[in-house]
Structure 1
Amino acid sequence: MLKLESVKVSYGAIEAVKGVSLEVRAGEVVTIIGANGAGKSTLLKSIVGLEPVAAGKVFIGGRDATQVRAHERVALGVAMSPEGRGVFADQTVRENLMLGAYSRRKDPAAIEAAIEREFQRFPRLRERQDQLSGTLSGGEQQMLAIARALMSDPKLLLLDEPSLGLAPLIIKDIFSAIRQLRESGLTILLVEQMAKQALGVADRAYVLETGCITLEGSGRELLNDPKVKAAYLGTH
């Protein structure tokens, strides 16, 4: 579903991503963990086309998408729920969902069916559908960000720090939704600082440190790795 070959991303003279290679197979949940500043969000942005790749290749669904523009990558089946949620604050919940379905705008019936599907997935959004998104709680905004990404009916969903700044009960709900999406067969690439929860839901995982992959393995293997425990799980 996704393959990166020696991807490099730079901000001026600073190389934020230093030759990363990884893959995400169809139906998998793959997690990337790492500290702040490791390059995780930059890597996701390079996959969806929001950051240019300085070197290397990005393949989506077997197609070389390295030079494909961001809005055209949606048609290749990729969507992202960004760090910080990025909801359109002056638009209602329903309007945000409709904007997420822009690539499907010629099929109103499919859009309405998708909105209903997301309301069933996140009942709170149904209750708030006519409310301006900027007035939602952080947890509600995160639900909306994920639902909006799903409105394009992606084959590959990228989730960037979905638990950031949320209360423990809301984090539990978000990871429950991720498990449901996995069970539906959706392919997910998850970037997350809550390492224990992220590795617990992952089929496979990578550790990113200062722009480089330093460890990879199954979610269970990394969850039990002494180095990962010491660095990310708060145990020795």
Structure 2
Amino acid sequence: MSDALLTLEGVHTHIGAYHILHGVDLSVPANQLTMLLGRNGAGKTTTLRTVMGLWHASQGRITLAGQDITARATPDIAQSGVAYVPESMGIFSDLSVKENMLLAARGARTIDDVDTKRLEWIFDMFPAMKKFWLHPAGKLSGGQKQMLAVSRAIVEPRQLLLIDEPSKGLAPAIIQNMIAAFRELKAAQTTILLVEQNFNFARQLGDTVAVMDDGRVVHSGAMAELAEDSALQARLLGLSLGAHQ
């Protein structure tokens, strides 16, 4: 796809003796939100970690904005404008919300160096970040920690966000807040590759979708088409999105 920001071509990943990815082909269009779906153990998290350079592809090619990043180190990929929000969120529990945000703003030495308008934009999406600005991050609720993890990823403009299961374990009201925030990010033309198990979340947000099984992408296309095709949902995922609305 000519409008793809990120492409994976025939990507294999081994972790020790285990062969996890078996020739992943994936295209992530620029300025869209691509959902990466599949059963547990299908290879979704490994795909994100391989893009981020945390695990290296043993075969195949990964390109970002036309540049080959297959063998690059994680700091170099981050410097290229890629942010990764792992399932574990990866926040620093002993540091305040403010200190967590400052660490994520690579070009800032003090919080005064961070773009004030961008911080206000983040506060509008996640008011809890402003409310608990000076509180230790470890004292936040699970939903607030997830908000902080996403806020850190967007404290500076990024080319690409890689986000692993942002709704996992969250209360329905917090999930709706997260959906609203991702809609804001989409409106700002942020390119996002998002792994998710909550299919209602996926249906509401995805522009495009790729479904993985056994370390391969077995389906890709428009999210709306998958959301409307119960037979395809059952075949690919073993369930219907409609049952999770």
TM-score between both structures, scaled by the size of structure 1: 0.93
Match of 2:60 among 52, 56, 72: 56
Instruction: State the SS of the aligned residue for 1:85.
Output: coil
Residues 24-33 or 112-121, more deviating? 112-121
Q: Does 1:134 align with 2:138?
A: yes
Task: Find the counterpart in structure 2 of residue 193 from structure 1.
Answer: 197
Instruction: Say if 1:84 and 1:164, in contact at 8 Å, map to a contact too.
Output: no
Q: 1:192 to 1:232 in 2, by over 3 A?
A: farther
Which aligned pairs between 1:31-110 and structure 2 lie closer than 5 A?
31-102=35-106, 104-105=107-108, 109-110=112-113
Separation in 2, partners of 1:174, 1:229 = 26
**Structure 1: 4+ residue segments shifted above 6 A:** none
Q: Tell me which residue corresponds to 1:111.
A: 114
1:203 corresponds in structure 2 to 207
Change (3 A) 1:152 1:74: farther
Cα shift at 1:112: 4.4
Contact kept in structure 1, 2:227 and 2:241, CA below 8 Å: no
CA distance in 2, matches of 1:108, 1:97: 8
Per the TM alignment, residue 109 of structure 1 is displaced from its structure 2 partner at its CA by: 4.8
DSSP-derived class of the 2:57 partner: coil
Counterpart of 1:228, as a letter, is Q
Give the structure 1 partner of residue 232 of structure 2. Answer: 227
Structure 1 residue matching 2:163: 3-state secondary structure: strand
For 1:73 and 1:143, the matched residues in 2 are separated by 23
TM-score after normalising by structure 2: 0.90
Separation (CA, whole Å) in 2 of partners of 1:232 and 1:176: 25
Q: State the identity %.
A: 36
Change (3 A) 1:82 1:172: same
CA deviation after TM superposition for structure 1 residue 224, in Å: 2.3
For structure 2, the residue ranges without an aligned partner over 5 or more in a row are: none
Aligned partners of 1:74 and 1:152 also within 8 Å: no
Deviations 1:72-116 (A, max 9, x none): 1122111111112111111110111011112x1368655142433
1:14 shift after superposition? 1.5
| CA offsets 1:131-180 (integer angstroms, 9 cap, x no match) | 11111000000000000011232021111100011111111111111111
For residues 141-180 of structure 1, the aligned pairs below 5 Å read 141-180=145-184
* Contact kept in structure 2, 1:223 and 1:229, CA below 8 Å: no
Q: State the superposition RMSD in angstroms.
A: 1.8
CA–CA distance in structure 1, aligned partners of residues 100 and 14 of structure 2: 31
Pair 1:235–1:9, CA change in 2 (3 A) = same
Deviations 1:181-226 (A, max 9, x none): 0011111111100123213311110111111111111001111231
Residue in 1 that maps onto 2:9: 5
Q: How many residues align?
A: 235
**Cα distance between partner residues in 2 of 1:82 and 1:232:** 25
Contact 1:93 1:129 in 2 (8 A): yes
**2:8 & 2:41 partners in 1: Cα distance?**
20
